[in-house]
Amino acid sequence: MSEQERPSGEESAAQAEQPAPRPHRGPPIETADETLSERGEATAKRLAAALGADAVAAGGRGETPWARVEPSALERTLRRCRDDDALRFDMLHCLLAVDYVERIELDYVLASVAHNRKAIIKVDLPPDAPSAPTATHLWQAAAWYEREAHDLFGVVFDGNDDLAPLLLFEGFEGRPGLKSFPLHEYEEY
């Protein structure tokens, strides 16, 4: 807010009580380096070969490489990850959403129980109406993860007709996982 726009008098006192975004203090922010182990490198190669041009970005740390895909390519990417002979990710290890405010990221942590491999498929969704295709037909484990992500982040999974509240009670309003949901100011009763 520039000097000219700043309201004066009583209004400014009310404004001053609004918490302004705190500037970062403390040591400068470092970025973690991403290095894959030998096994992670091998998985990353297989993943890159299987996804081809669908992977718009890739990286990873330790034994877990990741690849980012467009929402339109998500369904076929996941199917390929499960069925491709080089990957065989037979378990959906975890599915989670992260609210980066300007985007909501879904992370599909995939694991191969038979070959001891894991990888993460990332997809960015718009924050105003996040929606992604369901993965329940690929892994049964997806059902509850999707309900949870819908509960806490409001992500809609197309094709999953059972998105009833799982962790929250029915009738709860708001998406507690989002950064915009207050932690302390929220009153239930």
Where do contacts with another protein occur on this chain (CB under 8 A)? 24, 26-27, 29-34, 61-64, 90-94, 96, 98-99, 107, 109, 113, 116, 118, 120, 139-141, 143-144, 161-162, 165-169, 176-177, 181, 183
Judged by beta carbon, residue 52 or residue 159, the one nearer another protein is 159
CB 189, min distance to another protein, A: 16
CB 77, min distance to another protein, A: 18
Give backbone dihedrals phi and psi of 152, rounded to 5 degrees, phi first. Answer: -90, -25
Judged by beta carbon, residue 11 or residue 83, the one nearer another protein is 83
Sheet holding 55-61, edge to edge: 55-61, 64-69, 117-125, 104-112, 91-99
CB 94, min distance to another protein, A: 4
Judged by beta carbon, residue 11 or residue 90, the one nearer another protein is 90
Report the distance separating Cα 155 and Cα 147, nearest Å.
9
Identify the CA nearest to 78 among candidates 114, 126, 123.
Answer: 123
Residue 121: in which H helix or E strand, if any?
strand 117-125
Give residue for tokens 């990221």: 105
Judged by beta carbon, residue 52 or residue 174, the one nearer another protein is 174
